[in-house]
Amino acid sequence: MHTQTRKLLLAASIALALGTTGGMAAAESQTFTDARQETQIWTTYALNPHLRANDLKVSVANGKATLTGNVAEEVNKELAKEIALGVSGINAVDNRIMVKPDYVPPQTGQDRSYGVMVDDATITAAVKSKLLWSKQADGMTTSVSTRSGKVTLTGNADSQADKDLAGRLALNTNSVVSVDNQLVVDAAKSKPVDSAKNTAKAAGDNMADSWITTKVKSTLMYSSNVSSSDISVSTNAGIVTLSGVVDSGAERDLAIELAQNVRGVKSVQSTNLRY
């Protein structure tokens, strides 16, 4: 009798322990999920240029996100809600964000925000790519750095024309505020990369049409003052054809200049690029 009782008590204790452990694991799993969702929503706010300056706060519990803070416009409040609802596992949003037309975002310190740092890294990559694909600018030996949208170019240029072109390519990149062109013109100085650079230029005529088309499209996409989505690009034997509709003659001229500057491009046909 006593043996049977002890067995029942032991079984009950084990079951209780397993149930408690399972409950703790489930609770820890939900806490982890809540934290992951909070981080995902906050990161998206930090990257979004319309929301990053606002003092928004996010908390998540069991698939419900609660948003607080202040914005200046109703559209920003709605944007914050839609972003939260777009996160996997979020099925409800308690949007307590206050709309204050006279709201002024808090001043940031000298340190860049996460969103600004990501923007700067994106700008740097875009500028480096445009220089690397260029016929004239020596992107491989030009150093590019960006801070709060301000680009600094350092290194050497073979000529004043190359230096000026590098500056124009950088300034015409999306989100660039200004360019500090510190490139030093030193055509007489022999550099180890000169032969490789000349070889690349000489081989430009033999570059694949598909490569040229891709680089022209990317150059237009990275560039401000050009609506790349409205411009079609095709290449045949190094001859690039641009077609579509642009807003002005200046935009048309810029698109042609950018295409003409890509390595391997022999000429640009723009008869069907209208404004």
Q: What is the pLDDT of residue 252?
A: 93
Bridge-partner residues for 233, per DSSP? 242
Bridge-partner residues for 180, per DSSP? 152
> Given the DSSP bridges, would you call strands 98-99 and 70-71 parallel, antiparallel or unpaired?
parallel
Does the pLDDT of residue 85 top 70, yes or no?
yes
Mean pLDDT over 248-255 rounds to 92
CA-CA distances (angstroms) from residue 21 to 8, 24, 25, 79? 20, 5, 6, 40
Does the pLDDT of residue 29 top 70, yes or no?
yes
Does the pLDDT of residue 25 top 80, yes or no?
no
The whole-angstrom separation of Cα 48 and Cα 107 is 17
5-23 pLDDT, tens digit each: 665 655 655 555 555 555 5
Mean pLDDT over 62-76 rounds to 93
Q: Which residue has the higher pLDDT, 116 or 41?
A: 41
Closest among 190, 162, 167 to 179, alpha carbons compared: 167
Whether the pTM exceeds 0.85: the reply is no
| Distance linking the first and last C-alpha atoms of the chain | 98
256-274 pLDDT, tens digit each: 999 999 999 999 999 999 9
Q: What is the pLDDT of residue 135?
A: 85
Q: Which residue has the higher pLDDT, 140 or 164?
A: 164
What DSSP assignment string belongs to 87-152?
A: STT--EEEE--EE-TT--PPPP-SSPPHHHHHHHHHHHHHHHHHHHHBSSS-GGGEEEEEETTEEE
- Side-chain half-sphere exposure of 34, counting CA atoms within 13 A: 15
Q: What is the pLDDT of residue 157?
A: 87
Does the pLDDT of residue 202 top 50, yes or no?
no
**How does the average pLDDT of the chain come out, rounded?**
84
Q: Which domains does the chain have, with CATH numbers?
A: 2-99 (3.30.1340.30), 114-197 (3.30.1340), 207-274 (3.30.1340)
Q: What is the pLDDT of residue 17?
A: 55
Q: What is the pLDDT of residue 188?
A: 63
Mean pLDDT over 111-134 rounds to 88
Does the pLDDT of residue 194 top 60, yes or no?
no
